[in-house]
Amino acid sequence: MATVEIPQTAVPGKVLGPTTRFAAGPGTHVYNGNVVASLLGDVTVTASAKAQAGLTKRLNRITPLSPEELATISVARKGASKKREVLPDVGNMVLCRVVRLMPKQAIVTIQQVGDTVLQTEWQGVIRSQDVRATEKDKVKIYESFKPGDVVRAQVISLGDQANYYLSTAANELGVIMATSEAGNDMVPVSWKEYKDPETGIGEPRKVKLRRALQLDTLRRLRLQSILHRLANEAEG
């Protein structure tokens, strides 16, 4: 059996060893049959008690290790307490900042998980099909986000070894802070627009709807429906 060289330190995405030899511990995840580092820190390998007890019996025969016999490999940040080790997980609500736009996705850095501000920023991706729940084929990334926007999103997949996949496909998800091209803080005026109060110019965004804005939008839609019905009745 080939010897696996374990690094003393690891960076996110670093392959640490195959899952046939190691179990994923804190600070790691499994990707393509390998245990991969999820954060920057020191690498630790802990042998299982069962593997140590059965080592003598295994010297003369080659058989696969059972899950209980796998050594656990983990990564811990230098000088960080375990209490602060928070990693994004599927279902978590996160706050992130948009750093770059591509035709079919927005690249973001995750800065907060739940109520916990992260010491290390993780990269995430919001794909065009995950921006909103309806009319996904009509979504344009450049009309949904801009670099610098702060976005509330949900982790929907651990993705690949470099990115978390995020979604804003809900009313309570989307851009919560945006700056206009003129450099002013903007305010949301609808589910798809922010407006610069200084210049009065609006810019398209995938907006996180606040409760009051949601109610106001519903009232406008109901009023439009009533006016449309009355107009039809008058014509009839």
- Here the CATH number for the domain that contains residue 171 is 2.40.50.140
Residue 88 domain-assigned (yes or no): no
| Same domain, yes or no: 180 and 111 | yes
User: Where does 59-101 have alpha helices with state H?
Assistant: none
pLDDT digits (tens, 9 = 90+) for 98-122: 999 999 999 998 988 988 878 777 8
**Are 120 and 147 in the same domain?**
yes
Instruction: Check: CB of residue 156 under 8 Å from CB of residue 165.
Output: yes
* Inside any domain, residue 220: no
The mean pLDDT of the chain is: 79
Q: Are 74 and 97 in a shared domain?
A: no
**Separation CA 86–CA 223 (nearest Å):** 46
Query: What's the whole-number mean pLDDT along residues 162-186?
Result: 90
Same domain, yes or no, for 66 and 111?
A: no
What's the whole-number mean pLDDT along residues 154-167?
85
Amino acid, single-letter form, for residue 39:
L
| Residues 204, 143 share a domain | yes
Same domain, 103 and 199: yes
In the prediction, which pLDDT does 127 show? 95
Q: What total number of domains does the chain contain? A: 2
Q: What is the CATH number of the domain that holds 55?
A: 2.40.50.100
Asked, for residue 231, whether it belongs to a domain, the answer is no
Nearest by Cα to 86 from 55, 57, 110: 110
Residue 109 counted as domain residue: yes
42-78 pLDDT tens trace: 888 887 655 444 544 444 444 555 556 688 888 887 6
The model's pLDDT over 146-157, given as tens digits with 9 standing for 90+, comes to 998 999 999 999
What mean pLDDT is predicted for residues 130-140? 90
Range of the domain at 175: 93-213
pLDDT-derived band of residue 203, with 50, 70 and 90 as boundaries?
very high
pLDDT of res. 63: 53
Supply the pLDDT for residue 161. Answer: 62
In a domain, 224, yes or no: no
Same domain, 50 and 100: no
- Does 1 fall in a domain? no
Q: Are residues 15 and 54 located together in one domain of the fold?
A: yes
Q: What's the whole-model pTM score?
A: 0.56
Ranking 26-40, 47-61, 75-89, 180-194 by mean pLDDT, the lowest is 47-61
Residues 113 and 60 grouped into a single domain? no
Tokens 């926007």 appear where? 149
| Dist. CA 86–CA 177, nearest whole Å | 24
Alpha carbon 8 to chain centroid, angstroms = 28
- State both tokens at 108: 């973001």
